Amino acid sequence: MNDDDSDTIRRVLAGEREAFRPLVLRHQAAICATVRALLPRGCDWEDIAQDVFLTAFRHLTTFDSGKASFRTWLLTITRNRCHDVSRRLPKTKRASRTEPVDDRTPPALIAEAEWFDQLDAGLEQLPPDQRLVFTLIELQGLSYQETAEIADIHLGTVKSRLARAKASLRNVLAPLFPERTAATTR
């Protein structure tokens, strides 16, 4: 476990409630990105991420650094929370999210937005187990072993789910790259 995490956790467990804030700041990007990737557009991912941290705070005494890193533990809570939320959502719930505007040219922004819309659509089409594995490995940069621990599956299952997810996403994203598809079919 990260030494900063272990020191901070010790302080929180000793009664310094404010010491939990650095843990949130250190891990919030990974948690928010995972929530956003695992749930359909239109979900209030910030509230869900906040709920993950609240759950972690309330159950911090159950965290065992001998079993997993704090980040792995948080991402496991995230997976479980997203699973609970997705079970309650109607399957047709879809809404576009707004992306921050920056100084790129309009054509570049349109191309990027189209790319992310297609990626989101592809991720939404994946079965939840494949989406989780893809998100943890490809978007969060976790190892296969960490992903196996978070998903509570065998290492071989992680590899096969990732391969299936990538194949499905390739099919969804192929129309955006016709030159690549033509080159691979020759």
Tens digit of each residue's pLDDT (9 = 90 or more) over 95-118: 333 344 345 566 666 666 666 677
- H-assigned helices in the chain: 3-13, 20-38, 45-58, 70-88, 106-125, 128-134, 144-151, 155-173, 178-185
Tens digit of each residue's pLDDT (9 = 90 or more) over 27-48: 988 898 888 888 887 788 889 9
Tens digit of each residue's pLDDT (9 = 90 or more) over 50-80: 999 999 999 999 998 888 889 989 999 998 9
* Rounded Cα distance, 148 and 141, in Å: 13
pLDDT at 94: 36
pLDDT at 106: 64
CA 166 to chain centre: 16
Lowest mean pLDDT among 1-5, 65-69, 131-135, 161-165: 1-5
Burial class (CB in 10 A: 0-12, 13-18, 19+), 28: middle
Cα-based angle 98, 101, 104 (whole degrees, multiple of 5): 135
Tens digit of each residue's pLDDT (9 = 90 or more) over 149-185: 988 999 999 999 999 999 988 887 777 666 554 454 4
Instruction: Give 92's DSSP letter.
Output: T
The residue with tokens 């309330």 is 58
**Domains delineated in the chain:** 1-89 (1.10.1740.10), 103-186 (1.10.10.10)
pLDDT at 137: 92
Give yes or no for residue 81 having a pLDDT over 50. Answer: yes
3-state secondary structure (DSSP) of residue 112: helix
pTM flag (> 0.75)? no
